[in-house]
Structure 1
C-alpha cells in the first residue's frame, strides 16, 4: 500500500530585480535598544553603579575557596 507524499509549497516568485527579505520586528528593535542604552551609559556614567557584594557572602565564598583549595 502506498503512502501519500507531501509536496513542498512553491516559493513565491521574487519581484523583478529585487530581493525579498523579511525581518521580524525584534531583529530591528533589539539592536536599536542596546545601542540607545549603551549610549545613555556613555553620556551619563554616574548612573552606572558597580554591584556591591554582601560581606557575609564574600566571607562564605572565601571559606569555600580555602576548603576546596586544599
Structure 2
C-alpha cells in the first residue's frame, strides 16, 4: 500500500523572487559608502587645492550650492 503524498499549499518561490528579503545592512552599507565618498568629493577645504580643469571646479561648486539648499 503506497503512502499518500502531500502537495505543498504554496509552491516554492523562484530564486531571486520577492520572498528573498535583504538584511538591513545590505542597503545601509552601500548608502553610507556613497554618502561618505560624496562628502569627500564635495569637501570645500580640499576643493581649492585641486589645480585641474576650471570647468570641473565650477561643476563641483554648482553641486555644492545645490546640496546646500
Scaled by the length of structure 2, the TM-score of the pair is 0.39
- Which protein, 1 or 2, shows the higher relative CO under an 8 Å CA cutoff with sep ≥ 6? 2
Scaled by the length of structure 1, the TM-score of the pair is 0.39
> Which structure is larger by alpha-carbon Rg, 1 or 2?
1
